[in-house]
Every structure is written in structure tokens, then in C-alpha cells.
């Protein structure tokens, strides 16, 4: 009898916890995708938190120091997405380079980035060994 009560109590705790965990995970998943995957998902991508990775399209970067607003286009050669970020560009941010932005895709087709991370494909490479 005691054992049964203990088991029931344990089952209730585990079920409640799992319910909360699953619900919580659903709302805070961040998806890692590319611009063409974003285009392919279309409306399905709205409202989700997304981490978008691609190249900063040459000629697309504008920085409005007054408004502290950074605009650029992320591309993966087949599709591109305009990005707006409120805040200074991170160090070494430049066109033609890889970047990862995290934020949401808004209704007007612009990606509002909460954060911008510069990505170096050759990051932390060893210096070529000299003979």
C-alpha cells in the first residue's frame, strides 16, 4: 500500500515535470537555418526564434550611426534575406563574410536580428608550418 502510494506520487511528479519541460522546450527552440531554407518554410517560419547563417552580401551593408541601426542582406547564393539589427556591427563585421544572426522573421519580410555574430570560416587556423 505504502509502495503504491509512493509510486503514484512519483508518477505524478514525473508527469508534471515532463509536461512542463515539453511545453517549455516548444516555446524556446531556436532553429538553425539558411536563407533558402527560410524562404522554403515561408509562413511556417514566422514567429519562431531562428538563427540564420549566411554570407553578408557585398554592397548591402548600411550603418546608420544616428539611429544605431545596421542593415544588410544575408545570402547563401540561392536566396537572400534582408536583416535589420539595432546596435553596432560587431568587430570585424564586413561584407562578403559569414555571419549568424538570431531573431525573428517579421511579416514585412525583414529579419529582425537580436544579435549578430561574425563567423570566420578559417577561424582559429594554425599558421602554416615553416620549414
Which residues of the shown chain bind other proteins in the complex (CB under 8 A)?
13, 17, 20-21, 24-25, 27-33, 49, 51, 65, 68, 87-88, 90-92, 118, 120, 122-127, 129-131
The phi, psi pair for 43, rounded to 5°, reads -60, -30
The nearer residue to other proteins, 46 or 68, going by C-beta atoms, is 68
Q: For other proteins, give the closer residue by CB, 42 or 91.
A: 91
Which residue reads 515561408 in cell numbers? 42
For strands 62-64 and 49-56, give the pairing: unpaired
* Nearest distance in Å: CB 17, other proteins: 5
CA-to-CA dists, residue 102 to 7, 11, 40, 54, 82, angstroms: 43, 38, 18, 12, 13
Q: Which of 108, 124 has the CB closer to other proteins?
A: 124
Is residue 25 within 8 A of residue 82, CB to CB? The reply is: no
Smallest separation, CB 18 to other proteins (Å):
8
Minimum CB separation of residue 77 from other proteins in Å reads 19
Q: Choose between 37 and 108: whose C-beta lies nearer to other proteins.
A: 37
C-beta of residue 70 within 8 angstroms of C-beta of residue 89: yes
Amino acid at each position: 500500500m505504502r509502495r503504491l502510494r509512493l509510486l503514484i506520487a512519483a508518477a505524478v511528479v514525473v508527469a508534471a515535470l515532463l509536461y512542463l519541460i515539453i511545453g517549455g522546450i516548444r516555446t524556446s527552440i531556436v532553429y538553425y537555418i539558411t536563407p533558402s531554407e527560410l524562404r522554403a518554410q515561408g509562413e511556417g517560419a514566422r514567429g519562431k526564434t531562428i538563427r540564420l547563417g549566411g554570407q553578408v552580401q557585398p554592397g548591402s551593408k548600411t550603418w546608420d550611426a544616428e539611429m544605431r541601426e545596421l542593415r544588410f542582406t544575408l545570402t547563401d547564393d540561392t536566396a537572400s534575406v534582408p536583416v535589420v539589427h539595432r546596435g553596432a556591427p560587431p568587430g570585424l563585421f564586413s561584407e562578403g563574410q559569414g555571419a549568424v544572426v538570431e531573431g525573428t522573421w517579421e511579416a514585412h519580410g525583414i529579419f529582425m536580428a537580436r544579435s549578430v555574430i561574425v563567423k570566420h570560416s578559417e577561424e582559429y587556423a594554425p599558421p602554416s608550418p615553416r620549414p
